[in-house]
Amino acid sequence: MSIPSKPVMITGASGALGRLLTRELSAAGWTLRLTDIAPFPDPLPEKASFLRYDLADGVAVMRQAEGVGAILHFGGCSVEQPFEAVIGPNLRGLYHIYEAARREKARVIFASSNHSIGFHKRPEGNEAKLDYDCAFRPDGYYGLSKAYGELMGRMYWDKHGIENVNLRIGSCFPKVVNRRMLSTWLSYPDLVRLCQAAVTAPRAGHAVIWACSNNAATYWGKDHRERIGWQPQDSADGARPEVEGIVSGDPVEERYQGGSYTSIEYSRQGGFSAKDAFDLD
C-alpha cells in the first residue's frame, strides 16, 4: 500500500478507532496531524503532531488542515446523545471539516454509521440485503447527524468536486460479543485496510461503503468498494457458537438493524402484530 505524498489529518484521534488508526498508519510510514477535544493518551508517533481543540472552532480546523491531502474524520459524538449535544461537533464541526477540505482540495473519509439507516428491518431468510443507495432511516439524533454528514459529502462532491468516502461502520470492536455483531462486526485490521484504501485510491468521487467484515449474516449488499479496491479479509462467522444466543429480548432492538439505538426513547404505540401500524414504511 502506497504512502500518501501529503500529511493526513485524523480527527477523534484520542478515541478507540482514532488511536488504532494513528498506531497503524504511523507504523506504515504515514505523516499524521492528529486532533481531539481530549488529550492524546499514547506516546506520539515520530511523524505525528497533535493539537487539542473543539471541532466547533473552525479557525483551528482550517489551520491544522493546511497542506493535508486527506482527512480521516472520526471526531464528534460517536453514540446516541441529546440533540443539543450532537449539533456542535457533528453538524457544525462537520461543516468546518468540509470547508477545510474544500480549501485544501483534500479528500474526506467520513466515519458514518449503520445508525444512519438503523430503522431498516433486519433481513430474514432470502430477503434482499440493503444496497448503498437505500433510504436513510436514522435511529436517533446521532444517526441523523451521520445521514447529514453523508449528504454533505454528496453536496461537496457535486458542487465543489471534493472527494469523499463515507464508511457506514457496523460494529468496530476487538471482538464479536452478541448475535447482532455476527452481521455488523468490522475487525480492526479490516478498518485499517479500508482507511488505507479510501485515502490512497486514485479516484473516489462520492463513495459509500458498508464497513463490515466478510460476515455471512451481513445485512448489507452493493456499495462502492471496488472503486477504492477494498475487500474485507476477516469474518465474524467463527464466533457464532459462542454468541448466537446473546440477544437482548427487546422486540424493537431485535427487529431493526440499528439494534439498541432504535429502542432508546422509543415511543411509537402498538405492537408488531398491528400490521397496519408497522408495515407502513
Q: Which is nearer to ligand 15L, 178 or 200 (CB)?
A: 178
Q: Could you tell me where the DSSP H helices lie in the chain? A: 16-27, 58-65, 83-86, 93-104, 141-160, 181-184, 188-200, 225-228, 240-243, 251-255, 275-278
CB of 261 to ligand 15L, least distance (A): 7
Query: Rule CB under 6 A: is residue 79 a binding residue for ligand 15L?
Result: yes
Q: Tell me if residue 142 is catalytic.
A: yes
Number of residues in contact with ligand 15L, rule: CB under 6 A?
Answer: 9
DSSP string of 90-108, one letter each residue: IIIHHHHHHHHHHHHT-EE
Cα(81)–Cα(200) distance, integer angstroms: 33
**Angle at the Cα of 220 from the Cα atoms of 126 and 242, rounded to 5 degrees:** 80
Is position 213 an interface residue for ligand 15L (rule: CB under 6 A)? no
- If we measure between CA atoms, which residue out of 75, 107, 100 comes closest to residue 6? 107
Q: Which of 132, 142, 156, 188 is catalytic?
A: 142
**Binder to ligand 15L among 11, 31, 64, 78 (CB under 6 A)?**
78
Least Å from the CB of residue 3 to ligand 15L: 28
Which of 14, 113, 178, 187 binds ligand 15L (CB under 6 A)? It is 113
Please identify, using beta-carbon distances, which residue of 90 and 184 lies nearer to ligand 15L.
184
Restricting to residues 168-197, which ones interact with ligand 15L according to CB under 6 A? 169, 171, 184
- Please report how close the Cβ of residue 75 comes to ligand 15L at its closest, in angstroms: 12
Q: Is 262 in the site for ligand 15L (CB under 6 A)?
A: no
Q: Maximum CA pair distance of the chain? A: 60
Q: What is the C-alpha separation between 86 and 92, in angstroms, rounded?
A: 9
Stretch of residues binding ligand 15L (CB under 6 A), selected from 33-41, 64-72, 110-118, 129-137: 110-118
- φ and ψ at 204, to 5 degrees? -130, -35
Q: How far is Cα 256 from Cα 2, in angstroms, rounded to an integer?
A: 39
- Exposed/middle/buried for residue 116 (C-beta within 10 Å: 0-12, 13-18, 19+): buried
Q: Which stretch binds ligand 15L (CB under 6 A): 56-64, 111-119, 125-133, 199-207?
A: 111-119
Residue from 14, 22, 31, 114 in contact with ligand 15L (CB under 6 A)? 114
Picking from 114, 123, 115, the residue whose alpha carbon sits closest to that of residue 139 is 115
**What is the set of active-site residues?**
142
Residue ranges in contact with ligand 15L by CB under 6 A: 78-79, 113-115, 169, 171, 184, 259
